[in-house]
Homo-oligomer: A and B are copies of this chain.
Amino acid sequence: MTSAIVLGGSRGMGKAISESLRSINIDVFSASKEDIDTSNLESVKNFAEIHKQVDVLVLNTGGPPAKEFSNVTEEDWNKYHNQLFLGFCILLQTIKINEGGYIFLISSSVIKEPNPKLIISSAYRAAFSEVFKILSKNYAQKNISCINIAPGPINTARTKELIDNIDEYKKTLPMGRLGEPEEIGNFVKSIVQNNIKYLSGVVINFDGANSSFIF
């Protein structure tokens, strides 16, 4: 592996993944919102014109503001349909992943346990997870692994926005703490570094034993 693109790479989990991959001497392009706005399909296409191929692609993007179903507007649905779904589809239709490479999707634990306040995110991240699962079988033929990481509560600015009293919230979690972005970063790094390829087509909950469903 020599090159990587990390979307949403300027902060939170994207930043931690970027740094982790750099630590093993991968040439990482950490895309910020200036480089690509995944809610804007023109911006997505322009990005894909410039970044035509890569070894490791990390699909990662912020989620929409918390909003109950009754308040979600047609404009909201369409915006986040682009941001969380369609932009990623266009990227995968356009950017070439080099043989033996990796695609990581940073989705969310809401895909398996949908959340009323994050209904937009639950819907479109699940939709893209379906696409990603299907594509994992095609990519497998080129020895490219597709790994969907579904983080639970991680210590990011976004989590702090979404949750009122973080300290109280932490006490409700099995580990008594949020996950650290570096744990996600190190996880991604480890897989690439050790050339673990057979881990593919899988959704990996990363939530500190917080979920209650068995599979």
Contacts and interface: CB of A to CB of B under 8 A. Distances in A.
Contacts of A22: none
A163 interface: no
Which of under 10, 10 to 19, 20 to 34, or 35 or more describes the interface residues of A? 35 or more
Nearest to A117: B134
A18 to B, nearest CB: 16
A137 interface: yes
Interface stretch (A3-11, A46-54, A138-146): A138-146
Contacts of A134: 69, 114-116, 119, 122
B129 A214 contact: yes
A127 to B, nearest CB: 4
A192 to B, nearest CB: 10
Contacts of A201: 174, 205, 207-211
A208 B200 contact: yes
Contact of A199 (B69, B78, B90, B187): B187
A204 B207 contact: no
Contacts of A137: 116, 174, 209
Given A130-B126, A201-B174, A207-B201, A214 B114 contact: yes
B204 A199 contact: yes
A209 B116 CA distance: 13
Nearest to A113: B212
Nearest to A20: B194
A124 interface: yes
